[in-house]
């Protein structure tokens, strides 16, 4: 019976949960950033992480592709546990795309080179194949005519869309968005969100840290609310925005809405 149950759990994890965080703890020096985080993301699910500044949202998703190291607990991505094993880390990073608040495009490369670089050196695609893929993706994010320019010549919104295309070019199973619109002018936020919505509709598994409540309400399958390093509440957008249970959540929502 117990065997069966275990098997069932394992089965469930491998079937549904593409990201699984179990009792995750992280410290920056003595500072306890993430406290006993338990969460999961299912395949093709869009999870939005919200919370006040300093609540550990960014740290959490940065742990998911090992940009930050966790000290306790487990992170299991697509059946592989993140550990110090370099092979595991690079295998996981190949499957996870990430988009940063500050875009982090490579300023010394053109847009096209930005999108083809990792394809060629990580996925080992030929130049022609990589460029074809890159041009397709630039088309998809709506900036096909900027391929020859350098990032410095683009607007913030265009840069962020290039960053999305760059991450997508690796054919990731999961996309992580770390406050993708926070550094953008209000006029440009929409063009980035549109791309993200389109991506969500296409069935991409996404974990999004954002302050865009409209986006969360419209696109998210589930919302995770974090405060001071712990998960306060997890729920569907309807539950979350209309009938939050926890006092902290209510306070937070009352301040931003």
Partner 1 sequence: MAQKSSQEMYVAPVEEPRSRRPPISEVGLIKWLRDNLFGSWVDVILTVVTLVGAGFILYGMLDWILFQAQWEVVFLNQATLNTGNQFPKSEIWRIELVAFLVVFLSLLSVGVWGRIARGFAITLAIIGAIMVIVPWATTPVEEPVIYMYTEAGYLNRQVNFVADEGQEITFTIDPLTDASDYQISNISGYIENDNQQNNTSFDAFNNRTASVVTFLDVEPSEYDLNMAIEIWDADGALIQSSDYTQGTTEITVFTWEAPADGWFTYAIINNAEASGENGAAFVTIDNLEVFRSTSQGRELRLDKYGPQPELDCSGCATSLNRSDLRFQGKRTLAQWFSLQLAPYLLESRGFFFIAAIVGIIAYFIGQVAVKNSFNIVNDDLLDKTARFMLFVSGIAFVGYILIQISSWFIQQGDFEALQFFTLVAFVISLGIYAIIQFMKDDPKASSRAVTILWMLSIPIILSVVTGFESSAVPVSESLPAIPTGDLGGLFLTLLLSAVAIIASFPIGMALALGRQSDLPVVSLLSTLLIEVFRGVPLITLLFMGRLILPFFGFGLGDVDLVIRIIVVLTLFISAYLAEVIRGGLQVVPKGQIEAAYALGLNGFSTTTLIILPQALRAVIPAIMGQAVSLFKDTSLVYIVSLFEILGTMNQLLGDSQTGYIAFPREGYLYVGIVFFVFSYVMADISRRIERTGSGAIRRDTI
Site residues for partner 1 per CB under 8 A: 65, 67, 90, 93-94, 96-98, 100, 102, 104-109, 117-118, 121-122, 150, 152-153, 163, 166-167, 170
Minimum distance between the CB of residue 127 and partner 1, rounded to whole angstroms?
Answer: 11
Full strand arrangement of the beta sheet holding 72-77 = 31-42, 17-28, 72-77, 80-81
Query: Is 23 or 106 the residue whose CB approaches partner 1 more closely?
Result: 106
Query: Is 90 or 236 the residue whose CB approaches partner 1 more closely?
Result: 90
Q: What is the rounded distance in angstroms from the CA atom of residue 156 to the CA atom of residue 105?
A: 11
Q: What is the rounded distance in angstroms from the CA atom of residue 245 to the CA atom of residue 65?
A: 31
Minimum distance between the CB of residue 91 and partner 1, rounded to whole angstroms?
Answer: 9
Query: Is 174 or 231 the residue whose CB approaches partner 1 more closely?
Result: 174
Specify whether the CB–CB gap between 196 and 149 falls below 8 A.
Answer: no
Q: What is the rounded distance in angstroms from the CA atom of residue 257 to the CA atom of residue 254?
A: 6
Nearest to 38 by CA among 216, 221, 230, 200: 230
> Cα-flanking dihedrals φ and ψ of residue 40, to 5°?
-145, 160
Q: What is the rounded distance in angstroms from the CA atom of residue 102 to the CA atom of residue 105?
A: 8
Minimum distance between the CB of residue 253 and partner 1, rounded to whole angstroms?
Answer: 31
Minimum distance between the CB of residue 104 and partner 1, rounded to whole angstroms?
Answer: 4
Nearest to 248 by CA among 229, 235, 233, 236: 233
Residues ≥6 apart with Cβ < 8 Å to 59: 26, 33, 34, 68
Other Cβ atoms less than 10 A from the Cβ of 1: the count is: 5
Specify whether the CB–CB gap between 41 and 48 falls below 8 A.
Answer: no
Minimum distance between the CB of residue 167 and partner 1, rounded to whole angstroms?
Answer: 7
Strand pairing partners for 31?
Answer: 28
Minimum distance between the CB of residue 47 and partner 1, rounded to whole angstroms?
Answer: 18
Specify whether the CB–CB gap between 240 and 225 falls below 8 A.
Answer: yes
Minimum distance between the CB of residue 51 and partner 1, rounded to whole angstroms?
Answer: 21
Query: Is 93 or 248 the residue whose CB approaches partner 1 more closely?
Result: 93
């Amino acid at each position: 019976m117990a065997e069966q149950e275990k098997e069932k759990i394992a089965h469930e994890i491998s079937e549904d949960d593409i990201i699984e965080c179990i009792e995750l703890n992280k410290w920056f020096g003595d500072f306890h950033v993430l406290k006993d985080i338990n969460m999961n993301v299912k395949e093709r699910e869009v999870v939005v992480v919200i919370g006040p500044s300093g609540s550990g949202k960014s740290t959490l998703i940065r742990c998911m592709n090992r940009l930050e190291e966790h000290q306790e607990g487990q992170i299991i991505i697509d059946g592989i546990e993140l550990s110090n094993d370099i092979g595991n880390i690079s295998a996981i990073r190949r499957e996870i795309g990430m988009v940063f608040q500050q875009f982090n495009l490579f300023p010394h490369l053109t847009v096209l080179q930005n999108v083809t670089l990792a394809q060629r050196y990580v996925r080992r695609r030929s130049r022609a194949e990589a460029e074809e893929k890159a041009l397709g993706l630039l088309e998809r994010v709506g900036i096909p005519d900027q391929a020859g320019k350098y990032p410095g010549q683009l607007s913030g919104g265009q840069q962020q869309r290039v960053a999305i295309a760059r991450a997508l070019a690796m054919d990731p199973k999961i996309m992580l968005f770390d406050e993708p619109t926070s550094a953008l002018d209000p006029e440009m936020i929409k063009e980035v969100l549109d791309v993200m919505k389109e991506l969500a509709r296409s069935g991409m598994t996404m974990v999004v840290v954002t302050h865009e409540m409209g986006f969360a309400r419209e696109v998210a399958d589930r919302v995770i609310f974090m405060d001071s390093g712990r998960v306060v509440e997890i729920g569907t957008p309807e539950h979350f925005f209309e009938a939050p249970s926890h006092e902290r959540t209510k306070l937070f929502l009352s301040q931003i809405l």
